[in-house]
Amino acid sequence: MRYLPLTNNDRENMKKVIGISNINEMFTNVPKEVSLDPKFNLPSHKTEMEVGKILSEIANKNINSNQVPFFLGAGAYKHHIPATVDHIIQRSEFLTSYTPYQPEISQGTLQYLFEFQTQVSLITGMDVSNASMYDGSTSTAEAVSMAKRITKRNKVVISPTLHPQYAEVINTLISSNEDEIDYEFSENFEVEKLISKIDDSVSCVVVQNPDFFGSCHSLEQLAEYAHSKGALLIVVVNEIISLGMMKSPGEMGADIVACEGQSLGNPLNFGGPYIGLMSTKDKYVRQLPGRIVGETIDMNGEKGFVLTLATREQHIRREKATSNICTNSGLCSLAFTIHLSLLGEMGFKKLSKLNHEAAIKLYNKLKTLDCFEVKNNSFFNEFTVKVPIDASVFVEKMAEKGVLAGVPVSRLSNQEGDFSNLLLVASSEINSDFDRENFIKLAKEVCYE
Amino acid sequence: MNKNKGLDHDEQLLFEVGGINKTGVDLDEIDNLDHMIGDSFSENEIGLAGLSEPETIRHYVRLSRKNYSIDAGLYPLGSCTMKHNPRLNEKMARIEGFSEIHPLQPISTCQGALELIDLISSWLKELTGMAAVTMTPKAGAQGELCGMMAIKQALLDRNELNRKVVLVPDSAHGTNPATAAFLGFEVKTIKSNDKGLIDFSDFMNNIDENFAGVMITNPNTCGLFETDIVKISELTHKSGGYLYCDGANFNAVVGKLKPGDLGIDAMHINLHKTFSTPHGGGGPGSGPVVFSDRLEKFCPTPLVKNIKGDFILVEDSNEKDLTKSFGRLNVFHGQMGMFVRAMSYMLSHGADGLKQVSEDAVLNANYLRASLSSHLTPAFDGFCMHEILFSDDFLKDTGVETLDFAKAMIDEGYHPMTIYFPLVIHGALLVEPTETESKQSLDHFIKTLCDLVERLKKDSDSFKAAPVFTPIRRLDETQAARKPVLRWKEEPLIAV
């Protein structure tokens, strides 16, 4: 077998050194009633070529986003990833190393994580960030959990325009601790209504921006009111590229920011692996979950980096830890930080504008059609369209004609409310005029058939 | 003088080498844009540093050379399973039909993705002999959470939430008690006996009417198979509780026995350990959980179903298969990129190869054990499984501590083993060679460790000074925690 270096001769010699004649002598602790030679209804080993063929055939049953005009978002966005990114993350020293427990031989990982933390702090407008979480949804749930620890209050107010699956994750992870969660999915984001829900028992208000339906919001007033009641503002960002032309969450008064960072450096991957970002104010850093890298000096006074503030973590605190999270999204954070280093300030802002421009171009085309109604007054690169037929039927029919046209809102909502005609349509720098013309042409056909 | 040392270049921070006016990406110019952002629009400076492409590559290549990796050498971190990561897996994960598909595409356009999830699910169920599997947990720790939430949901279903006590052995990973506590369970520690196994009588004595279940790592963190596991599962079930198995060490028994035969109710599987998806400097991982039929109906959303070759995704917890589900653990459907890699690994090995994997892993560990016993002190008598635990007895009266010994290994070209874990052994050193080390590689490692032990008597000072051949020497972790500097800032940072 190509991955196993021991030869039969090696195995025999090693057994002699150990003093056994049969491998199973090392398994004597296994209870007698348990078989050491069970039957598996599975095939035997295969060559590289055979495995490649099997998996390629399965992959070919999917329509991928490089094959057709593509307009899906709703928490996962397609962007061009520079070739450099994938080359570097496949370097052995990054791909095949462990969590940097031995800092003297892990400075590569530690330094890029320190740089990553700085970049995340900068784009979210916060003081400090951790070294990443699993994805945007678990970041958000961890942020809620963190707000509860800080405020020692249980009630959670969630904006109606938070991604419904994010709300489900909060509900799963937090309601098990018998908390009160106020969330009713709807298209209507009203600051006044959120404010009316904040009282002295509220730990935090969770707001997505741009929201699930694509609209952009100013949050200063909400932040100010929340703070006056001793509650924290958690801002969730699904499309990180939006931060190139919007006020940062920190600038608007956020206390904790939770983001999905997939848009930078990470392909769609059918939903994972992605990368959760999490940042906060200096004063809350000891309640921040996950790995954190800090700067220090070595015994010669040279600057270096280590994992730090470990007393928050489960391997030291065990049942008193801030979270049970152990692994983060190391390699995804490397892809994120390389992509953002390549972009830099100029590139990041330009990319942001290109995305916005692509969405405006599609918006302008859609406005000329009577049968579609764009619901948004503001948006970044995604907006909500009311289509004349059921949106899930619409996307299936568009897919048959060779366009992946968007995400039906009803796909994500299992709450009450009639969302059946609403479609989320995302644009990015990958979309050409040809893509947009096709979208319009085929959408008309589908609706008038 | 500059601070370069031959091939090891001193590399400044991105923010020191890069600039606000530099970029490594060519993007189209944009005409004046009438934006639609509204009043949250901003053109303020963010402060990001950019690099051209050649500078980017140089920056990260230089950084990479300061890392140890499994590709460069034996990486004996116990309980972490640093085995070879086949490159075929990387290639497969990058097939556009897997990497460039969106999680919310119409179901008719992602049948292949659902087929792959169904395929890996069926392999995991068959290999473990369990009734059901959920693929969504994003790492081992989230898998634990998932398994324990199913247990909590089952207790709720039985209307027995008074059962609050979860028993955890003192040798367990920290994530076990953290997970149980996060869910509101009361954690009680059970003792290990002098053989490194769960003290069955202590386990028995801790069971009362509030017993919810027990979390057991098997093989355990001392590298030993819990010989009373079947007795424990029988008593657990008789007492109305559930047995959660931490499957972090499944690589020791994969293809050799079916954990389902041990009577467990839930177990997470670290695809990044047993099935060799790369560790990536700390993730991304993937932690699917297998369930017994007692817990099957409580598993999280979503669920892939195979209806005669047509694949559907059940996402809504109101659907009939999921009415008792405890809910959704994260957005979308799990770590697809990791599923493809693990599937590629499983197909490559097949059932026969996987059995050889666990046998070779155990053989390699016991070969180290036999060859090192003259110089180091095995913590327990008898054979080990895939990893071997040493105590620091061999360091007695040398003035050298476990940490110093580990740092000295670095100068000899090795990543140290896991140290000071498990907590039940003083100054613990936990060595896991994995099955992907050759005999020559093990022999070199053995000789190095024995030479180091010989050197203890002659030159203990060198251990205190180690490492000396690394890009940087021992770091002041106390200062890092006391005065946290967690990001770069414009003003120069002054070392105190």
Query: What is residue A174's predicted lDDT score, i.e. its pLDDT?
Result: 84
Which residues of chain B have a CB within 8 Å of the CB of A163? 331
Whether B301 shows a pLDDT value over 90: the answer reads yes
Which residues of chain B have a CB within 8 Å of the CB of A176? 149, 152, 183-184, 326
Whether B317 shows a pLDDT value over 80: the answer reads no
Residues 243-272 of A with CB under 8 A from B: 243-248, 251-252, 260, 267-272
Query: What is residue B357's predicted lDDT score, i.e. its pLDDT?
Result: 98
Contacts of A249 (CB under 8 A, 6+ apart): A124, A125, A126, A209, A219, A235, A237, A257
Residue from A278, A286, A280 nearest A336 by CA: A278
pLDDT digits (tens, 9 = 90+) for B77-134: 999 999 999 999 999 999 999 999 999 999 999 999 999 999 999 999 999 999 999 9
- Which helix (H) or strand (E) covers residue B311, if one does? strand B310-314
Q: Under an 8 A CB cutoff, do B30 and A296 touch?
A: no
What does the domain layout of chain B look like in residue ranges?
Answer: 88-345, 357-479
The pLDDT confidence band at residue A416, using thresholds 50, 70 and 90, is low
Q: Is A83 on the interface with B (CB under 8 A)?
A: no
With beta carbons less than 8 A apart as the criterion, state whether A119 and A132 touch: no
If you search the block for the tokens 């899906």, which residue do you land on?
A72
With beta carbons less than 8 A apart as the criterion, state whether B282 and A109 touch: yes
Residue from B73, B144, B174, B86 nearest B417 by CA: B73
Q: Under an 8 A CB cutoff, do A52 and B416 touch?
A: no
Query: What is residue B1's predicted lDDT score, i.e. its pLDDT?
Result: 81
pLDDT digits (tens, 9 = 90+) for B3-30: 999 999 999 999 999 999 999 999 988 8
Identify which of A75, A270, A318 has the shortest CB distance to residue B110: A270
In CATH terms, the superfamily for domain A345-448 is Aspartate Aminotransferase, domain 1 (3.90.1150.10)
What tokens does A261 get? 């960072």
The pLDDT confidence band at residue B318, using thresholds 50, 70 and 90, is confident
Q: Report the share of chain A in percent with pLDDT over 70.
A: 96
Which residues of chain B have a CB within 8 Å of the CB of A319? 177-178, 180-181, 187
Which residues of chain B have a CB within 8 Å of the CB of A100? 67, 281-282
Contacts of B59 (CB under 8 A, 6+ apart): A341, B11, B14, B17, B51
A403 vs chain B: nearest CA distance in angstroms? 11
- Determine the CATH number of domain A83-339: 3.40.640.10
Candidates B53, B59, B60: best to mutate against A (most CBs of A within 10 A) is B60
Residues 387-446 of A with CB under 8 A from B: 392, 395-396, 399, 404, 407, 411-412, 414, 429
Whether A177 shows a pLDDT value over 60: the answer reads no
DSSP H helices, B108-174, are 111-128, 140-157
B433 vs chain A: nearest CA distance in angstroms? 13
If you search the block for the tokens 């962007």, which residue do you land on?
A79
Q: Under an 8 A CB cutoff, do A343 and B48 touch?
A: yes
Stretch B266-283: mean pLDDT: 96
Which residues of chain A have a CB within 8 Å of the CB of B181? 319-321
Contacts of B201 (CB under 8 A, 6+ apart): none
Mean pLDDT (chain A, rounded): 95
Neighbouring C-beta atoms of residue A140, cutoff 10 Å: 34
- Domain B357-479 matching CATH 3.90.1150.10: the answer reads yes
Whether A325 shows a pLDDT value over 80: the answer reads no
Q: Under an 8 A CB cutoff, do B256 and A344 touch?
A: no
**What is the Cα gyration radius of chain A?**
25
The pLDDT confidence band at residue B496, using thresholds 50, 70 and 90, is very low
Q: Under an 8 A CB cutoff, do B480 and A316 touch?
A: no
pLDDT digits (tens, 9 = 90+) for B165-174: 999 999 998 8
Identify which of A270, A305, A347 has the shortest CB distance to residue B101: A270
pLDDT digits (tens, 9 = 90+) for A43-54: 999 999 999 999
Stretch A2-15: mean pLDDT: 98
Question: How distant is the alpha carbon of residue A53 from its chain centre?
Answer: 31
Whether A351 shows a pLDDT value over 70: the answer reads yes
The pLDDT confidence band at residue B495, using thresholds 50, 70 and 90, is very low
Query: What is residue B375's predicted lDDT score, i.e. its pLDDT?
Result: 97
- pTM summary value: 0.97
Whether B494 shows a pLDDT value over 50: the answer reads no
What does the domain layout of chain A look like in residue ranges?
Answer: 83-339, 345-448
The pLDDT confidence band at residue A405, using thresholds 50, 70 and 90, is very high
pLDDT digits (tens, 9 = 90+) for B341-370: 999 999 999 999 999 999 999 999 999 999
Overall CATH class of domain B88-345:
alpha beta
Candidates B91, B104, B146, B468: best to mutate against A (most CBs of A within 10 A) is B104
Whether A176 shows a pLDDT value over 70: the answer reads no
The pLDDT confidence band at residue A178, using thresholds 50, 70 and 90, is low
Q: Is A191 on the interface with B (CB under 8 A)?
A: no
Whether A334 shows a pLDDT value over 90: the answer reads yes
Q: Is A6 on the interface with B (CB under 8 A)?
A: yes
- Which helix (H) or strand (E) covers residue A321, if one does? none
The pLDDT confidence band at residue A415, using thresholds 50, 70 and 90, is low
For residue B243, what is the DSSP state? E
Q: Under an 8 A CB cutoff, do B227 and A29 touch?
A: yes
Identify which of B108, B301, B352 has the shortest CB distance to residue A45: B352
Q: Under an 8 A CB cutoff, do B284 and A327 touch?
A: yes
